[in-house]
């Protein structure tokens, strides 16, 4: 290939056939990195700056603490009473380096959980606190009928198992910030577990991911979640 791909012209050296690629139209369909501009053998300055900016957003998403106070206020405005708790991870570093601590609730907070309840709704910061602050209220509002929720600092998916068991719930639903990428720093996932108990594995859950503007809209995710919950109760199981 003698020609630069940034010229949008690819010529097959064997057949002599050429094909013109409309990369601008493709770029409009996805935030993925397509047709990176080059300056000689290296990425162009604009591409390098865009990469650095996206990388910074991803790092900030992981490190940014959950603004639970503001989140609780927003939840209250949509009729949801929420309690704030913490995992056994005492710091952001613990949360990142010791995932096992993020899967268990701080023993002091167990007494703050008021049960019993059929469904345990859990909102955990995970690896993107901004994602749940932005999208959890929208999803819960679209679902409707959510009276109470538990907001967790430094939580991992499995913390919903302990919370669900403590509340005597038959189903736990965890809304959590997903691991950020270069094209999506704020993306939320939802994990549904039937019969939550400490020690459940990911094979026992169902998941809806990529909930964000530019991905799966929270309102659309709410419809999928309602169907998932109905099936879980009907079949009395989740997972594979």
Binding-site sequence positions for adenosylcob(III)alamin: 157, 178, 207
Q: Binding-site residues, please?
A: 157, 178, 207
Spatial distance between the Cα atoms of 6 and 13, rounded to a whole number of angstroms:
18
Other beta carbons within 10 Å of 221: 26
Preceding peptide of 116 cis, ω within 30°: yes
Spatial distance between the Cα atoms of 41 and 44, rounded to a whole number of angstroms:
9
Spatial distance between the Cα atoms of 187 and 151, rounded to a whole number of angstroms:
17
CB of 178 closer than 8 Å to CB of 207: no
CA distances to 92, 101, 106, 216, 230 from 97, in Å: 9, 9, 17, 29, 36
The residues that bridge with 44 in the sheet, in sequence order, are none
| 179 DSSP 8-state letter | P
Q: Are strands 81-86 and 148-153 parallel, antiparallel or unpaired?
A: parallel
Cβ partners under 8 Å of residue 70, min gap 6? 133
């Amino acid at each position: 290939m003698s020609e630069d791909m940034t010229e949008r012209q690819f010529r097959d050296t064997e057949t002599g056939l050429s094909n013109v690629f409309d990369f601008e139209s493709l770029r409009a369909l996805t935030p993925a990195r397509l047709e990176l501009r080059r300056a000689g053998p290296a990425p162009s300055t604009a591409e390098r700056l865009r990469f650095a900016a996206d990388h910074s957003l991803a790092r900030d998403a992981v490190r940014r603490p959950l603004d639970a106070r503001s989140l609780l206020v927003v939840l209250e405005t949509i009729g949801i009473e929420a309690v704030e708790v913490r995992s056994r991870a005492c710091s952001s570093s613990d949360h990142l380096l010791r995932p096992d601590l993020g899967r268990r609730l701080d023993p002091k907070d167990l007494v703050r959980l008021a049960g019993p309840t059929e469904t345990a709704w859990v909102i955990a910061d995970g690896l993107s606190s901004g994602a749940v602050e932005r999208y959890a209220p929208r999803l819960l509002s679209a679902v409707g009928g959510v009276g109470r929720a538990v907001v967790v600092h430094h939580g991992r998916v499995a913390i919903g198992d302990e919370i669900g068991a403590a509340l005597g719930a038959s189903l736990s639903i965890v809304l959590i910030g997903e691991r950020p990428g270069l094209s999506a720093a704020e993306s939320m996932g939802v994990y549904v577990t039937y019969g939550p108990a400490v020690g459940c594995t990911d094979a026992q859950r169902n998941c809806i991911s990529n909930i964000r503007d530019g991905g799966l809209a929270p309102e659309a995710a709410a419809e999928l979640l309602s169907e998932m919950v109905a099936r879980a109760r009907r079949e009395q199981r989740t997972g594979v």
